[in-house]
Amino acid sequence: MKKIFKPGSRLIIVFILTMVISGGILTWLSIISISNFRQLTEKKVAEEQLSIIGQVALKFQQKLEDITNNFTAILIKENDVDWSAVKYSDTVDCVENPFIINRSGAFIWPWYLEDPGEVAGKVSSAAYRQDFQDAEKNEFQDWDYSKAAFYYRASLRHATGKPDSAKSLNALARIQLKIGNTGRAYDYYTQITSKYSSVLDGNGFPYVYYAILNFLKSNDSIYTSRILTEFESFLSGLTNGTIPLNNSTSEIMTQIAEWKNNTRISDDNQFPQSDEYIQKINGRLKFINNYNQILKTSINRGIIREYPLILGRFNVMNEIPGEPGKIILIEPDEEYIFGFCVGLDQVMSHIMEINYCEYTEFEYDIILVKREENGSKNTNELITSAQFSPLFPAFMIRIELKDENLVDIYVKKRSWAYGIALILLLGAMLLGILLILRDILREKRLAHLRSEFVSNVTHELKTPLTSIHLFAESVLLDRLNTESGKKEYLQIILNETERLKRIINNILDFSRKESGQIEYRKEKVNLTDLITSALKDLNYWLDEKKFTVQTELEENVVITADRDAMKQVVINLLDNAIKYSGDNNEIYVRLVSEKDKISIEFEDKGIGIPADQLDLIFEKFYRVNETIRDGVSGTGLGLTVVKEIIEAHHGELLVESKVNQGSKFTILLERNTIE
Ligand code: ADP
């Protein structure tokens, strides 16, 4: 059975099929990945957003740990609690309203007197009590204020403790106000504010408050600066805890602020800190107001320890009604309970400062939102929100792309890049296939030429050998009578041998060139002589075929070249002119030397070369079809060798030819490179 494909072409078909299949798969995969690219990008965005949420949660937790560590570092020294340090602990970043309460829920810091009531004090002396009773009788029953003042002063002398003194001074001030002696009254009040600022009356109300309330009533400008000083020490006492807060403090704060507004104080700097104090005090009052009840209830029901324990020793109260953005950290294990408040906003402001987008492909906005407000926004796929801390269940972190169009642009860019890369790849594959096919065709043609070459060579060698054989035999058998006849035969044998030599030289040269062994020996060569001698060598053939050779040779044109190689060039070109002249036996040889160029022309009026084969005749083994049909023998190597030699001498070989009109081969040599 005849094989359809030769083994070589089978391999090529397998190769091309592989290319086509892999190209197809690649194209298919690329198209799929381009069309999935949007989905992939959105997935990437979601992944990046989740990773940011994870980081935010982690940083948040770390920040809370830092806060508690810093707070404990201030308050707890070598495992003992330094209660007094709580005053300064609000300097710790993010610590708000540090507090201490006792086991019954009363605020010790900030010092707050919750329910005024009977206060058990030191028992006063009998003399004091007598004087004070007399004084009150005079003041409230008899309205004899001077006598009342007299007894109050006596009581003051019999006072045995601070509460007694403060009580008497307060009464004395009151009497002075009643009799219209404001100056004296203020003197008494000043004694209270300066010496008895923390002393409470029988109902647990600080005497200082009476003094301040009375100062507030003053609208006489002569007392302004004195009152200002009083207010300043009152506010600073409240702030640093030497004067207790109670449920009227807030009202007094409002009044002091109003008084300041109403009283034209010439120099603001007289009391610059007042606003700051008032703000601080109001803050504490607000905190007490908000958390007093809840703390008390928790203590009474003993549930403080049931709050989630986080960050080591702190229990956390969160979800406090009306305060979703706050948590209270409580340490209930000591004799007193201490703790502080942490505001979400403040912690978040630190968390948001961190750049989470350093390693992400896209830029994101990170937003803190309330859980209930978040619902509507989540329909968009490019937004991710999640809880970031179990301590703030009412809040979420929402991560949005800074610019939603970025995804579109990104997808478009990538798709283009993929598309172009794919087209280039397919193009390269196609080019590869074409190149391979071209190589295969060339190989095929060469193989064909090579096989023709063998039969051509055989034929080429056979012709002269047959002549040599024939003529040698004739001479040997003495078939010729005359000496001149014998000589002629021997001459023919010699010429045929020369021709054989030329053929073999061409083959040898070609094979040497193929294996890269050719070397040229440069020497001075007289081209004029060389051409003349070549013509002489071929004289026999020219004569035999009755050629007219016209030469225009410039005298003594000398170049540096390989003599033998140059001769071979000239002989090959003349030999071709003889072989392919058909019936027009005219040959023209011209040697022209110009300033920097030398040209040698070999022109015949023979069969010519078809234009489409003009480039091919220089290829190895190539022979024009017609010449083969006409029975002109040759190896297809003559011009290959000529071209190789000329190029090795940095020259050019040109051909002009027209079918049936003749051919002209021109050699151009540059004088510079030769000499
Ligand atoms: P060969 O002459 O041995 O065939 P060459 O390499 O010398 O090989 O020439 C290649 C082919 O070029 C020849 O077969 C011939 O067809 C063509 N050719 C060369 N010289 C001439 C010429 N002067 N006139 C016409 N055809 C030519």
What is the residue with the minimal CA distance to atom 21 of ligand 1? 576
* C-alpha 377 – ligand 1 centre gap (Å): 87
Q: Is 605's C-beta closer than 6 angstroms to any atom of ligand 1?
A: no
Q: Which percentage of the chain shows pLDDT scores above 90?
A: 46
Every domain range in the chain assigned CATH 1.25.40: 122-225
Positions of E strands within 371-437: 383-386, 395-401
pLDDT in tens, 549-587: 999 999 999 999 999 999 999 999 999 999 999 889 999
Sheet arrangement for strand 395-401: 364-370, 395-401, 383-386
Residue 265 banded pLDDT, cuts 50, 70, 90: low
* C-alpha 624 – ligand 1 centre gap (Å): 7
* C-alpha 548 – ligand 1 centre gap (Å): 20
Total count of residues recorded for the chain: 675
Residue 396 CB contacts under 8 Å (≥ 6 apart), including other chains:
368, 369, 370, 371, 374, 385, 386, 387, 388
* 233's tokens: 């020490």
Residue 133's pLDDT is 95
* C-alpha 597 – ligand 1 centre gap (Å): 26
What is the residue with the minimal CA distance to atom 16 of ligand 1? 624
Q: Which of 623, 640, 646, 655 to mutate to test the pocket of ligand 1 (most atoms within 8 A of CB)?
A: 623
**CA-CA distance, 168 to 474, in Å (whole number)?**
174
Q: Which of 504, 627, 657, 659 to mutate to test the pocket of ligand 1 (most atoms within 8 A of CB)?
A: 627
Local structure of residue 137 (DSSP, 8 states): I
Q: Is the pLDDT of residue 119 over 70?
A: no
Q: Is 639's C-beta closer than 6 angstroms to any atom of ligand 1?
A: yes
Report the CATH number of the 516-674 domain: 3.30.565.10
The bridge status of strand 112-113 relative to strand 245-246 is parallel
Residue 675 banded pLDDT, cuts 50, 70, 90: very low
Residue 598 banded pLDDT, cuts 50, 70, 90: very high
What is the residue with the minimal CA distance to atom 25 of ligand 1? 608
* C-alpha 634 – ligand 1 centre gap (Å): 8
Q: Which of 580, 618, 642 to mutate to test the pocket of ligand 1 (most atoms within 8 A of CB)?
A: 580
pLDDT in tens, 524-544: 999 999 999 999 989 888 998
Residue 270 banded pLDDT, cuts 50, 70, 90: low
Q: Is 587's C-beta closer than 6 angstroms to any atom of ligand 1?
A: no
Q: Is 609's C-beta closer than 6 angstroms to any atom of ligand 1?
A: yes
Place of tokens 């060339």: 442
Most confident range (mean pLDDT) of 198-212, 369-383, 445-459, 473-487 is: 198-212
Q: Is the pLDDT of residue 1 over 50?
A: no
pLDDT in tens, 82-100: 888 888 888 889 999 999 9
Residue 674 burial (CB count, 10 A): 18
* C-alpha 623 – ligand 1 centre gap (Å): 6
Residue 193's pLDDT is 94
Q: Is 627's C-beta closer than 6 angstroms to any atom of ligand 1?
A: yes
Residues 187-212: what's their mean pLDDT? Answer: 92
Residue 185 banded pLDDT, cuts 50, 70, 90: very high
Every domain range in the chain assigned CATH 3.30.565.10: 516-674
For domain 122-225, the CATH architecture is Alpha Horseshoe (1.25)
Residue 311's pLDDT is 66
**CA-CA distance, 503 to 171, in Å (whole number)?**
150
Q: Is the pLDDT of residue 381 over 80?
A: no
Tell me the HSE value of 34 on the side-chain side, using a 13 A CA sphere.
17
* 420's tokens: 């172009």
pLDDT in tens, 24-71: 888 898 888 888 888 888 889 999 999 999 999 999 999 999 998 898
* Sign of the dihedral defined by the CA atoms of residues 130, 136, 137, 138, in that order: positive
Whether 541 and 502 have beta carbons less than 8 Å apart is answered as no
Q: Which of 194, 204, 261 is nearest to 186 (CA)?
A: 194
Whether 649 and 641 have beta carbons less than 8 Å apart is answered as no
Residues 326-330: what's their mean pLDDT? Answer: 84
Q: Is the pLDDT of residue 592 over 60?
A: yes
The atom number, within ligand 1, closest to the CA of 608 reads 25
pLDDT in tens, 630-663: 778 888 999 999 999 999 999 999 999 999 999 9
The atom number, within ligand 1, closest to the CA of 637 reads 6
Q: Left (φ > 0), alpha (ψ -120 to 50) or beta: where does 566 sit?
A: alpha
Q: Left (φ > 0), alpha (ψ -120 to 50) or beta: where does 657 sit?
A: beta
Q: Which of 456, 503, 617 to mutate to test the pocket of ligand 1 (most atoms within 8 A of CB)?
A: 617
Residue 54's pLDDT is 94
* C-alpha 584 – ligand 1 centre gap (Å): 16
Mean pLDDT, the chain, rounded, equals: 87
